[in-house]
Amino acid sequence: MTKVKSSEITPESLYLNRRKFMVGVGGIILSTAGFPGCDNYKTTYEPSKGGVLPDDKLTSYKDITTYNNFYEFSLDKEDVIFAAKDFKTSPWKLEIGGLTEKSLSIDVDDLTKIYDQEERIYRFRCVEGWSMVIPWLGLPLARLLKEVEPLPEAKYVQFMTLHSPSRMPNQKSRSFPWPYIEGLRIDEAMHDLTFLSTGLYGKKLMPQNGAPIRLVVPWKYGFKSIKSIVRILLVEHMPSSLWMKVNPREYGFYSNVNPTVDHPRWSQASERRIGEFGRRETLPFNGYEEDVADLYKGMDLKKYF
Ligand SMILES: Nc1nc2c(c(=O)[nH]1)N[C@H]1C(S)=C(S)[C@@H](COP(=O)(O)O)O[C@H]1N2
Ligand SMILES: [Mo]
């Protein structure tokens, strides 16, 4: 494997791939009238990229940053913001390698300078039955994966969160097989909706949301969207995720949002949109069926949950 220095990452393909709609470079500027609670927030987004449904409203910045799942810090969603407040996320090395032609080791601050950041507004649903609509900032994972040139043997992508019990206090707890690991099939990882986020609401990510860089897979349950990533490895075999190790009966590799497959302890047919009253129906693939159903053609999604 040859190492690529971050200063060398300027291949032409990248510039050819540049999207028209980038934050700060024009594109559609939508006022957020109709997005209560975010009156001053201007968004540039491409409606064809997932985007929003007519009755989706942005969840408030306050809700997104105060109601979090991040077990390395706390199991209490409203306590994560406090438990993570001194977590230092710069400098931060992200490594990408494994079954690849090249490997990449880059500081996330450099990454955000080298690669244009774009905005994606995605619906996000937790397996526990609540959901949000979040304006993420970042880049498609595929852009970095293409950079390292996966070998033909690479069939899966494995992601790993930082493992540092001194910095992530709940990693001292032996109830979980740390570090947090997640995985995707390579075609899922290369899908244009699959996103690496470094910010939201136009600001850098806060520690509680997975700073400095986290995955966002909008058609899967929230736990797939692994936070504070230090390593991305291309591998041959299906990785075992933290949740599969903890409870394989309840959490499978695919974790696609499927309202017809109940969690063994509760129904997945509906969800509570944070900041709203009542519940709404959960959509297949979280509403991204048109974009992603092809990835699962011929698969029994009751078996591969
Ligand atoms: N490293 C790590 N990543 C994680 C988690 C976690 O506990 N640790 N929780 C997951 C779960 S269950 C959800 S619902 C989302 C929550 O993301 P948010 O707090 O930014 O909404 O992060 C996911 N990523
Ligand atoms: Mo979750």
Question: SS3 for 298?
Answer: coil
52-78 pLDDT per residue, tens:
787 888 899 999 999 999 999 999 999
pLDDT digits (tens, 9 = 90+) for 143-186: 999 999 999 999 999 999 999 999 999 999 999 999 999 999 99
Taking the C-alpha atoms of residue 95 and residue 71, their distance in angstroms, rounded to an integer, is 23
Average pLDDT over residues 18-41: 40
Q: Show the domains of the chain with their CATH numbers.
A: 6-296 (3.90.420.10)
Instruction: Indicate the pTM of the whole model.
Output: 0.88
Residues with Cβ within 6 A of ligand 1? 68-72, 126, 161, 180, 209-210, 222-223, 225-228
* Closest protein CA for atom 16 of ligand 1: 69
Q: What are the DSSP E strand ranges found in 223-291?
A: 229-235, 270-273, 280-281
What band does 40 get if pLDDT is binned at 50, 70 and 90? Answer: low
Q: How far is the CA of 131 from the centre of ligand 2 (A)?
A: 9
| Residue 116 and residue 177 in contact, taking contact as beta carbons nearer than 8 Å | no
Q: Among 61, 69, 127, which is best to mutate for testing ligand 1, by the most ligand atoms less than 8 A from CB?
A: 69
Torsion of CA 88, 91, 96, 102, to 10 degrees: 180
Given the CA of residue 227, which atom of ligand 1 is nearest to it? 3
Ligand nearest to the CA of 128: 2
Mean pLDDT of 206-211: 98
Ligand 1 centre distance from Cα of residue 209 (Å): 7
Residues 6+ apart with CB under 8 A from 201: 38, 41, 61, 64, 135
